[in-house]
Amino acid sequence: MTRKQKRVLVRIIISAVLLIVCSVVGRYDFGMPEVWHERLMFVLFMIPYLIIGYDILKKAILGIVHGEVFDENFLMAVATVGAIALGEYTEGTAVMLFYQIGELFQSYAVGKSRKNIAALMDIRPDYANIEQNGELVQVDPDEVAVGTIITVQPGEKVPIDGVIVSGSSSLNTSALTGESVPREVNPGDEVISGCVNLSGLLQIRTTRAFGESTVSKILDLVENSSMKKSRSENFITRFARYYTPAVCIGALLLAVLPPVCSLLAGHDAHWSQWLIRALTTLVISCPCALVISIPLSFFGGIGGASTQGILVKGSNYLEALGETAYVVCDKTGTLTKGVFEVTRVMPEEGFTEAELLETAAYVEHYSSHPISKSLKEAYGKAVDTSALSAVEEIGGHGVTAVVHGRSAAVGNAKLMERLGISCRTPREIGTQVHVMIDGRYAGCILIADVIKPGAKEAVAGMKAAGVKHIVMLTGDAKNVAEAVANELGIDTVKSELLPEDKVNEVEALLASKGKKEKLAFVGDGINDAPVLSRADLGIAMGALGSDAAIEAADIVLMDDDPAKIATAIGISRKTLGIVRQNIVFALAVKFLCLAFGAVGALSMWWAIFADVGVMIIAVLNATRALRYRQ
């Protein structure tokens, strides 16, 4: 409990004790005239009333001064001041007391829900170690230049993204990915900020400035998530804007019209009776349950998702995820590991396997594509870049170059067709890399990708979560794509696509879906930025440390587990269910109590219990969004 919450609790206890004392004292007249007894009770009750309600009265006055009249502070101030003016001292003070109890409760609940976000914020490093004159000196991470060697000792956070120069260790990435299994790292491995070094001493050469590092981008993403509100939150904001003035006008009419009508009919006006009813409706109408519980529900959902390694950029995206009917997945890096291995080398007559692998490795030397890496690993030798020239990458096709003075091309069948070279198509399943040397077809290298463990269960989980149709898009060959799709249970597969073709396919799906249905695209966040941006919802998969993912996607899954897609959808739908429950419950109780209060069937005691009770139940329900079980 914070210091401010403790002060409020002390005020509640003091006020409650004084209210009980005043109520007991009020039963005795001590032989005083009634008018003096009334004045004494007013003075005595004003002590607990001002102790518990001075801040509410202050906020109400400031709201009136600044033109923001109709809020819960104004309602409480009018209702309680009105009750005291009518001599209902106990009720007026009790209303303010129970309102403050409810406010304390919701403040505590919000604080609890913030702990998940606070835990995530703990990944921010406080310092970086730099060696100076043989000693380690702690400096501000902002002051560390790119290329500096920093030292990370066991138990410390990695402050800035970089590459390990020396040392081996295990890194705890749970704050970023939600995974408890440590990651083993060795010299040459890339490491990202926010991870905790568990064992060995590491020396790291920084590759980014602190402001551009992974931890800074993630923290900025989370801190700004509350800026993007859901439709439900915007609805409640607009609803409260009109609802509160409406009930104030309604209460005023209830206080004036019936007595006036009674006077015109020649009957007693009963002004105090109708004024009490009007004040009671003001207490009942306070929209706290809705105004507090709806944002708290989404905040809880975002916080709960963060503990699973799922970063949501705003409650509007969490809401959209719950309405997702179509999920479009990229294949490589999303459903498959993206770890390619050369499984077969098939040279044409006049060429050798070694010649094919060498040419492919040289031509693909500057590419970072997983297929290029597998070709270089299969070659297994150093590339003499002086023998390589005129390198040109052709998007969606492959790469051409001059190797050892000979023209060469490495890519898919489309590249060969573009160059006017006929090629053969092996029957084996796998990605086919065709090689051309000096204008002749030199042969084919077969590369196979590996399906991620749990990918099949992830597809089944998405369908169980309510996704209607799952589509896989890939630039890979048709036979390879269909084999993967069949194994995973994908509904539709589109293969041999260029990057612009993927956007066109998503456009077609967007045009065919229902108005209330959402389409989510799941990609690796590096090559799929255009499609991530075009879909209703962009989900970056396995995006740990990827700038493109964090910037282009609406939701970032911080590890390579495809099951997190279904988890994210489940969290979203649970959160939306809680939001709907709170809206229906709060409005139903409010309008029912307003009807009873208007006809005098509810006293002000019942009114405050109804208001605070609804708020407490709604807030308790909202905190359920923090916890999610598969």
Residues noted as catalytic = 330
Q: In what order do the strands lie in the sheet with 169-172?
A: 183-185, 169-172, 196-197
Nearest 5°: phi and psi at 62? -65, -35
Return the closest-CA partner of residue 397 out of 355, 433, 357, 360. Answer: 433
What residues pair up with 131 in beta bridges, in sequence order? 136
Return the closest-CA partner of residue 566 out of 469, 468, 453, 465. Answer: 465
Query: Cα torsion for 20, 23, 27, 32, to the nearest 10°?
Result: 120
Return the closest-CA partner of residue 233 out of 295, 286, 287. Answer: 295
User: From the CB of residue 137, how many other CB atoms can be counted at a distance below 10 Å?
Assistant: 12
Burial of 36 (0-12, 13-18, 19+ CB in 10 A): exposed
Strands 398-403 and 537-540: unpaired
DSSP 454: T
Calpha distance 466→518 (Å, rounded): 12
Answer whether 342's CB lies under 8 Å from 378's CB: yes
> Which residue is listed with tokens 């109708």?
274
Calpha distance 404→406 (Å, rounded): 6
Residue ranges with strand state E in 474-609: 492-494, 518-523, 537-540, 555-557
Burial of 124 (0-12, 13-18, 19+ CB in 10 A): middle
Return the closest-CA partner of residue 303 out of 165, 25, 113, 494. Answer: 113
Query: 58: Cβ–Cβ under 8 A, 6 or more apart, which residues?
Result: none
